[in-house]
Structure 1
Amino acid sequence: MYINLDERLQFILNILNEYGEGYLVGGALRDIFLGFKPTDFDMATNIPMEELLHILSEHNPIIISEKYQVISIQVDEYKIEIARFRKENGILDGRNPQKFKFVENIEEDLARRDFTVNALAYNNNKGLIDKYGSIKDIENLELNIIGEDKALRLAEDNTRIYRALYLVSKYNFKLSCETKKAISNFKNHRKLNVSISGFGRLLDKILFNKYSYKSLKIMLDNDLFKFFIPELSVDNLDNATIKNTVNTYNVYCKYNVFEDKTIGYAILFLYSGKSKLDDNKFLVNSMIIAESYLKKIGLNMTDIILVKNLIYYSNIISRAINKETVKRMLFEFRNNKNVSKLLNFISFIHHHDDNYNETMKKTLELLSRIQSIYFEGDVVFINDLDINLVDLYNIGLDTEISKESIRQDIYKHVNEGNLNNKKEDIIEYIKDKYNVKFNVVKVSSAGGIVYRINRENNIEFLLVKILGGNWGFPKGHIEDNETKVMTAIREIKEETNLETIIVDPENFQKDISYITNTGELKYVTFFLARAISHNVLIDIGEISEYKWCSYGDALKILTYSSHRKLLQEARLYIFKE
């Protein structure tokens, strides 16, 4: 069989076969036959590592394992790992073989592989080597362990259990009867030789794929969490809880939101605090368990807090809630995106309930409460405050004072009606409470969100890089006897040499304010400006660089969130018109 490999991969194989033998092996071949495009490639060779480092020196090889003679090279976007043929024997510690030796033929090397679907080898000289019926198992999506004693092969390297579950979650492989039996033997084991961080990496690969719910069921049924998260063991979860967890995860995968890991982790830990002995008020326990584990595997604190909030508020539609409860929830979730995650999470949890329609009715009632808070003009999220972290830094607060704590304090006073959500009022409050000597100097400016329609009939926005490094829109001070519109047109012309027409200035003018690092309180009014000339010539005294960008690229480049919000509003207005 001939496989048409990328010429860059074939080039490396040709080098290996010039100096010895070399094969493409393992998962990359499996993926090719499954119709996936691999980006990481494993190769195997009989060439000693010292010689391999020399012949591949122009590719800057990195030694991965001196003991097993494994190196890695990067060829454009392809990462290639090359290992020397070896044979392994015995169990040392559940992770490494008792002994091994380097060998000269690929067949002996393939015998040490874990599953038949990973035991293919290929080069142009010998074609495809399929010693274990790998192609048949790939076609049947069946996962078989190589070797006579299946349980022994898993005991040789405990991570093979979780690698099997990854293949189930990613490709929808079925476990063969022998593989199922070998995995079930680990119910009786007391420990596995896998670190908590190693387990975290493996679990992360298992949980966030199209068929992850199938792997989750196997893990729960076979008590494979007990080694690392004992609260998810069969001693703590009854059959009904396991069924609910798997069903919820099935919906999560079905709706293709598995890329959002916070919801996945929230589902996993939702019932972790619900032991058979305590069926009440378990959510706080579940939050504690989730935080403890997620910290150990190194998940960032922002995501950990979100997972905890999803768990805590998962039953909010069943509570007696008032406006204060809803506002507290919104404060915890910080933005609309996270609130949407909660609503999805609630839907997933109750998807299989007989009274699902009633659940959706209560969810809509919650959404209506949230919308009413918006319409009343209340500050919903902490980011709705008319002062941000950059402003707080530029005011000159003591560096030891937590800026986030100050924002929470301001949010509380604004929502209690004791403080207006206006930047000047907030500044006065901060000056009084924290004894800050800050003199407000107001400066008024105007500018434009400049756009054009390119030859492909796509909208492009003009971004300018201010001297000092911030990407934004053209703007400048309002001079005597100028209107804001006049200033916007003049500043765009002076900074970029573009002639523009201001689009519907009566209905589209957006105001922002911010505190500069020089202590000025700037008020800027932005208009929507359509370019009617083409040649950009920047004012090098003000601007260091410019770019015409698509909407998506502009969102990535703009420095400040206030400008990204302006861009979103401008784009919506253009499409509406």
Structure 2
Amino acid sequence: MDDKVAYIIKTLNNHGFEANIVGGCVRDILLNSVPSDFDINTDATPNQIIDIFKGFKIIETGIKHGTLSLILNGKAYEITTYRIDGKYTDYRRPETVKFSFNLADDLARRDFTINALAYNYKDGLLDFHNGCEDLKNQIIRCVGDPYIRFKEDALRILRAIRFASTLGFKIEEVTKKAMFENRHLLLNIANERIYIELMKTLTGKYVSEVLAQFKVILEVFIPELRYVARYKFIESLKYLAKEKEDQSIILAILLKPLENYNEILKRFKVDNKTYQEVSFLIEHYYYPIEVDRITIRFTLNKMGKDMLVKLLKMQYFVEHIDKFYYDLSLSTIKYIEENKLPYQLKDLEIDGTDILKFGFHGKEIAVQLKNLLSLVIKNKLNNTREDLYNYLKSQQNKK
């Protein structure tokens, strides 16, 4: 357990309160994975938590729902009071919450049994919903009635798919049936929240096997997928499963079969960098990339190194180029970089100020720089000040 987490729990205990690590962090520990963060729950109320840690910075993250963030050494630790959720009206959050002194009440409101686990120093592992058994059997099952769970927060439908994709677990049949029958509720969820869950799902180790089962659920928020044949969708999943980090490549492969991919990206409100990269990759999906050092330097000039490498990677993943061609392309780029072969204007030994000396002005400067770079890339001119100056003198005489 994180030292700071241990400190928080022991401090709450020393003031007479229960405190546990809870949810996904407990699940991850039981799966021998390192938790990305730790959530803590307690029977102390928000005001009592503030009083106990009054010497520290506290952010009232969701105080209405009993959650505070305690800042220790610059890191935020969420502490939530045991609670019973009131009525859900927006398929996202309860309108009201009632604080409780009973851990069982708090765990009963969780989404899945594998996330309804708690641990403390006194009692050890606490499991009221057979979450450990489901972990052992690799099953994703809702706590209680799945129809109620999904009506409370429809995003749980995508969370189930995400956990199946990342963990390789099977979704229990009643839970799965409820997911399909309540999928329309996802229309009530903000596209930004859906996008976050979707990307976590798409980077999962088991994404191709899992998402193939749930195309109709994706069609709720990407209705354009209805017009993509199932075999084509499964093929795209097989390709994108090869990439686990670059979201632009993943999205480009997923959205390539869709004509209005730009509108989908706008709906998800992706950042401008991702929007530009995905659009570029789709537009250049089958762009022919020649491997000789001259041509690839022109391509580097046109695309930039980062985008060319992304494009090559995507083309390899979708089997447009084979591994030999992919590796040869990367080794050619590496050779160009290591030997500092010019392919950008900034690589030239002279700049616009030098060209001014030869009587060129305005747009003529850009034309001459572009012409010089082209000749240097083609190996028709050495990239030295002397040779570049001599060439400019010859052009000056033609004016």
**TM-score, normalized by length of structure 2?**
0.79
Which residue number in structure 2 is paired with residue 414 of structure 1? Answer: 373
Match of 2:177 among 167, 170, 181: 181
Which residue number in structure 1 is paired with residue 258 of structure 2? Answer: 272
How far residue 343 of structure 1 moved from its aligned partner, in angstroms, is 2.5
Which residue number in structure 1 is paired with residue 240 of structure 2? Answer: 249
Q: Which has the larger radius of gyration?
A: 1
SS at 1:19's partner residue?
A: coil
How far residue 383 of structure 1 moved from its aligned partner, in angstroms, is 6.4
Which residue number in structure 2 is paired with residue 106 of structure 1? Answer: 103
Which residue number in structure 2 is paired with residue 124 of structure 1? Answer: 121
1:60-104 per-position Cα deviation (integer Å, ceiling 9, x unaligned)? 221101211210123348642111111124331111224431121
Match for 2:256: what amino acid?
L
Q: Is the 8 A contact 1:41 1:81 kept in 2?
A: yes
SS at 1:316's partner residue?
A: coil
Which residue number in structure 1 is paired with residue 37 of structure 2? Answer: 40
Change in CA separation of 1:197 and 1:325 when aligned onto 2, cut-off 3 Å: farther
Match of 1:259 among 222, 237, 245: 245
Change in CA separation of 1:420 and 1:225 when aligned onto 2, cut-off 3 Å: farther
Query: Where do 5+ consecutive residues of structure 2 fail to align?
Result: 357-364
Q: Is the 8 A contact 1:206 1:215 kept in 2?
A: no
Match of 1:230 among 219, 223, 226: 223
Tell me whether 22-31 or 342-351 shows the greater mean CA deviation: 342-351
Which residue number in structure 1 is paired with residue 361 of structure 2? Answer: none
Match for 1:203: what amino acid?
L
Is residue 192 from structure 1 mapped to residue 163 from structure 2 by the alignment? no
Number of paired residues? 376
Which residue number in structure 2 is paired with residue 385 of structure 1? Answer: 347
Change in CA separation of 1:56 and 1:423 when aligned onto 2, cut-off 3 Å: farther
Match for 2:279: what amino acid?
K
Q: Is the 8 A contact 2:298 2:343 kept in 1?
A: no
Match for 2:147: what amino acid?
A
How far residue 214 of structure 1 moved from its aligned partner, in angstroms, is 4.0
SS at 2:212's partner residue?
A: helix
Match of 1:69 among 62, 66, 86: 66
Change in CA separation of 1:321 and 1:344 when aligned onto 2, cut-off 3 Å: closer
Match of 2:10 among 3, 11, 14: 14
Match for 1:217: what amino acid?
A
Match for 2:255: what amino acid?
F
Q: Is the 8 A contact 2:43 2:102 kept in 1?
A: yes
Match of 2:283 among 312, 322, 333: 312
Match of 1:55 among 52, 56, 62: 52
**Aligned mates of 1:44, 1:83 — CA distance in 2:** 5
Which residue number in structure 2 is paired with residue 448 of structure 1? Answer: none
Match of 1:297 among 270, 276, 283: 270
Change in CA separation of 1:206 and 1:383 when aligned onto 2, cut-off 3 Å: farther
SS at 1:240's partner residue?
A: helix
Higher RCO (CA-CA < 8 Å; seq separation 6+): 2
How far residue 384 of structure 1 moved from its aligned partner, in angstroms, is 6.5
Which residue number in structure 1 is paired with residue 112 of structure 2? Answer: 115
Match for 1:209: what amino acid?
G
How far residue 246 of structure 1 moved from its aligned partner, in angstroms, is 1.2
**Aligned mates of 2:19, 2:327 — CA distance in 1:** 64
Which residue number in structure 2 is paired with residue 347 of structure 1? Answer: 316
Which protein is richer in strand relative to its size?
Answer: 1
- Percent identity, please: 28
**TM-score, normalized by length of structure 1?**
0.56
How far residue 380 of structure 1 moved from its aligned partner, in angstroms, is 6.7
Which residue number in structure 2 is paired with residue 470 of structure 1? Answer: none
1:168-222 per-position Cα deviation (integer Å, ceiling 9, x unaligned)? 23222221112221221244x2752322222232223222233333454344x23
Which residue number in structure 1 is paired with residue 88 of structure 2? Answer: 91
Which protein is richer in helix relative to its size?
Answer: 2
Is residue 157 from structure 1 mapped to residue 153 from structure 2 by the alignment? yes
SS at 2:97's partner residue?
A: strand
1:94-132 per-position Cα deviation (integer Å, ceiling 9, x unaligned)? 112244311210101111100001101221223322100
**Aligned mates of 1:127, 1:71 — CA distance in 2:** 24
Change in CA separation of 1:409 and 1:242 when aligned onto 2, cut-off 3 Å: farther
Match for 1:230: what amino acid?
P
RMSD: 4.1
Is residue 334 from structure 1 mapped to residue 304 from structure 2 by the alignment? yes
1:515-549 per-position Cα deviation (integer Å, ceiling 9, x unaligned)? xxxxxxxxxxxxxxxxxxxxxxxxxxxxxxxxxxx
**Aligned mates of 2:167, 2:341 — CA distance in 1:** 46
**Aligned mates of 1:79, 1:41 — CA distance in 2:** 10
Q: Is the 8 A contact 1:63 1:72 kept in 2?
A: yes
SS at 1:83's partner residue?
A: strand
Q: Is the 8 A contact 1:168 1:215 kept in 2?
A: yes
Q: Is the 8 A contact 1:27 1:118 kept in 2?
A: yes
**Aligned mates of 1:107, 1:365 — CA distance in 2:** 56
Change in CA separation of 1:309 and 1:6 when aligned onto 2, cut-off 3 Å: closer
Query: Where do 5+ consecutive residues of structure 1 fail to align?
Result: 274-284, 352-358, 397-405, 433-577
